[in-house]
Structure formats: structure tokens, C-alpha cells
Structure 1
């Protein structure tokens, strides 16, 4: 953490901003637990084997400890921190530094504890983060089938130009700018009637397929994000329902976007041209910052 780092904690409608510069009204002196990852390693050993064989690895949740000090308007700022970092209420910790912005979600494991003092009060709180990776605040979503936006500023109106263009390529590249694989949402939208839309990840060799004749205006969202894996159907009138029954049994709900380029193929049993497919995800995920 450098002197220009900005730390923001958001909980519900409340938000509080800390600076890393000494003399700031709300000063973060240190953050621990933001970089390292604990990994549980399972091993097996056969008779006469020298050493062991790793059978499984699992990245564990992380605890992040924020230490700081209140240097101005002590009583008011103290109450502001206590009103934002609440027990039993999840929050989001965002760190902005070196022109990049990353966030992690969690729940207070220990709410802020303050030292005594009328001019300066030190404080500390601990955030427990079940998903241990940091997500970029930048949007990495991609249109992998359907209309691609082309209009942008500045623009020239001379000659032939297009507001948008239909992607007629069967294969599209989705980029993950982070260093770790990440989960995502994929949204199937039927501009006209579409039969059995499919989302295929070429490198993984797995797919997400919907066994349904989608009427014009219907939208189906499939999430591979742990904690909310599932399928949601949205009808043309906006009504939502559980669409899990339409998910093909061979679909990969553990599909992730690997770091770097991911090649995606979108198709349908009938009327692929009426299918719109969008991937919703952050620009990247990193194990630590």
C-alpha cells in the first residue's frame, strides 16, 4: 500500500473512504491479509512411495485486517465508521492504487474497535471474505453473439458508417485480464424465436445449453458464480421464474474464464441469427493485491 492508496468500505447505502496519507481525517495505516492465500492441500501416499501425491488443492477464504486512525472530528468520524461497518451486515472493500481499482466482498468478523483519545483514536476491524480473490471494478463483459456496438465519440459522419453490426462469426474471443480463472453470467436473449441455444467453451471442451424454444423477447440467465449458480428465465413481460428445468443435463455450471483469451462458440438448433448472447463478468480477477 502506497501513500496514494484509497480504501473504500461500502455497506448498504453507507460508505466511508479512508486515505493512506498521514494527516488525513480517516487514515489507514496498514492492511494485512490482502495479498497472501491459504491453500488446503490434500495428499495421498501409496505403500512404499517416497513422498506423497497431491490429490486436491483448495484456496481458502481470507481474513483482511484494516488498521487506521481517526485524526479529525473524532467523535463524528468514529460514529460514521461504526454505522458503516456493522455486525451481521455484508460489505465491500475497494482498494484504488496505481491507477487500478479492485474489490472484495465479505462480512465483518470483528467490527471496529477504537482506542481512547480526544484528538486521535486508533481503530481496527477484520473482514472475512468467503471468496478470496479480488475482482476488478472495470467491466469485462462481452457480446459474443448478436449486435456489436460500433458508434463512439469522437466520430466522423463522412462516408459509410454503422451504429452496430451483427456478429456472423461462429467463434468469439473473451478476454480475462486477470491472473486467475473467474466465474461469470451468460445471458441468452431471443430477438426472434430461437430453439435450444448453446454456449460452448472451446478450450475447456464443455458447454452450457438450454433445451427450450425461446419466444421473442425471452431472456435466460445462467450463472456459474458460486453461491448463486442457477438459471433464471425472464418472460417478455418482465416476469421472472426459475429456469433450471431447461438446463441441459450435460451443461457445465463450473465453467470459468481462464486468464488470457477464451474462445467461445454460440449456436442454436434453429434460428441462430435471432440469438443474442452476452457474458457478464469483471475485467479480471487476481489472488492478491
Structure 2
């Protein structure tokens, strides 16, 4: 099974499958160009490998309108042009292939092409998307919760007294082929919350107090970094509260040990970490 669905940013969608939009060829779903970063020293053979950078992905669909009726062909062409409009910016591609489902965001590289039919009863077409982020991702967002502070103090008490446990440490797994940005949400009340990825040695700390009716929102996506405090009917930019040594960390491939702590907090203060695993191909 091979089915491709494209949804533009107006919420309009089109499905390429068997009928009426038949897929003849689909390229770019696996292969993507890689740029190898090297450094060369003078008077030395060869060079030093630094990193590999994936280039934007180009997904090309060649298909045919599965109809020989002229009025239907005209209407189907209009439908393709309406949904696959380059002026609408980024849209979402969802590919179902052999029981696997992945998605990616892309913009039309050009207006869809419709070659001359001549004696062919079917109208062929070609659509090309440029995907700035070359990674496919799971459609389902995975989310895990961490408790900031668990109170232990009760009356009457006996020594030794346990006032509480600092933070919750848990291990989450990134099943993808590369690191994955995360979205962190923290429901107050909490003071100077910090979430650390102990696997990578990086942490994110916010030097402010989050009230009981506020939610701290952090997005570590390099293309959409955000730190915000969400209140009722209000969103406040909070990038200025980010600790100087903080990192917009991502999940490494495999297991990641996360720790959540704060200067002050109660049992109701909960942090959620959400992510989509990313893949180099499908």
C-alpha cells in the first residue's frame, strides 16, 4: 500500500492513491543529499571529518488522473491546483507505506505540472514538495510527565524527618534515527524549574516563578525556539527568564535520563515532556 495525503495550511487536503489521483512514481521519500563537513590542514594529506548535514528533502510525485471524462479531468486539475498552491506555504505530507505511517512538512517547489495529453486518455501530472526539515516523523506525539516535588512532611512526625524528595528522575526512549526536539510544559505553582537531560549533560532552567494559574511552555525545535508563560487569554514571552547556561536540548537517540527539580514546588506542579521521533527515510 502506498498512499500520500497532503494538507495545506488552510486545512484543505488531497489524497493520492488509486482513484481519482493515481500514483505512478514517488521519489525522495528515502534518498536525501548529505553535505559532509570537513576541515583541511596545510601540508597534510586528506582532511578531518567534522559532521554530516542533511540537505532539504525533495519529494516528487508523478501521477495520473484516473478518468477519461473531459469535465472530470478539468475539475480534478482545479482541485490539485487549489490544494497544492505554492503561495500557501508549508503544508503537511502524510505517507502510508507498507503499514508504516510517517509525516513531514513541505512547501510546493513549483505549481503542479500537467503535460499535454495528446492521444493519452488520462491526464498525467507532477507535484514537487521541498521539505526544509528533511526528517520524517511519527504522527503521534509521545508525552511523559514528571513530578517536580513530592511532599513527605506530615504530623505527627518522628526523626529522621523527610521533608520531601527533590525531583523525579525517569528514562524515556527516542526510537528515531536522530535527535528529537522536545516541548516542555510546566503547570505551576513552581519556582525556578529546571529539566536536565542527564544523558547529554544539558539542562533548561527558567529563573522565575510560575503561578498556580500559569503554564510554562518551552519548544526546543531549532527552527521554532520558544519560551512562553501561558495565562488565561494571554501569552507572555519569557525568553528573558532563561538561565544563561541553559541549552535548548534535544533527546539523543536511544535512552535519555531526565531529572526535573525546582527551588520551591508542591505535588501539583507537573512537567510534561513531549516529542516526535524523527527518521532519515521511510
Q: TM-score, normalised to structure 1's length? A: 0.84
Gapped runs of 5+ residues in structure 2? 150-164
Q: Answer with 8-17 or 91-100: which moved more.
A: 91-100
Q: CA RMSD in A?
A: 2.0
Secondary structure of the structure 1 residue equivalent to 2:31: coil
Structure 1 residue 48: Cα displacement = 3.3
Structure 1 residue 146: Cα displacement = 6.6
Q: Does residue 58 of structure 2 align to residue 59 of structure 1?
A: no
User: Could you tell me which residue of structure 1 aligns to residue 93 of structure 2?
Assistant: 93
Q: Output one character per residue of 1:182-201: Cα deviation in whole Å (capped at 9) or x when no partner.
A: 112111111xx311000000
Runs of 4 or more above 6 Å deviation: none
Secondary structure of the structure 1 residue equivalent to 2:247: coil
> For residues 85 and 245 of structure 1, what CA distance do their matches in structure 2 show?
39
Q: Output one character per residue of 1:162-214: Cα deviation in whole Å (capped at 9) or x when no partner.
A: xxxxx997211222121211112111111xx3110000001111100110111
Q: Answer with 271-280 or 97-106: which moved more.
A: 271-280
**Among 30, 33, 36, which residue is 1:35 paired with?**
30
Aligned positions of 1:266-281 closer than 5 A? 266-271=260-265, 273-281=267-275
Gapped runs of 5+ residues in structure 1? 148-166
Larger Rg computed on CA atoms = 2
* Residues paired across the two proteins, number: 259
Secondary structure of the structure 2 residue equivalent to 1:78: helix
> For residues 285 and 266 of structure 1, what CA distance do their matches in structure 2 show?
24
Q: For residues 230 and 137 of structure 1, do their structure 2 counterparts lie closer, same or farther at Cα, with a shift above 3 Å needed?
A: same
User: Could you tell me which residue of structure 1 aligns to residue 171 of structure 2?
Assistant: 173
> For residues 220 and 65 of structure 1, what CA distance do their matches in structure 2 show?
40
Aligned positions of 1:1-289 closer than 5 A? 4-11=1-8, 12-19=10-17, 21=18, 24-72=19-67, 73-89=72-88, 90-117=90-117, 119-145=121-147, 170-190=168-188, 193-235=189-231, 237-253=232-248, 255-271=249-265, 273-282=267-276, 284-289=277-282
Q: TM-score, normalised to structure 2's length? A: 0.86
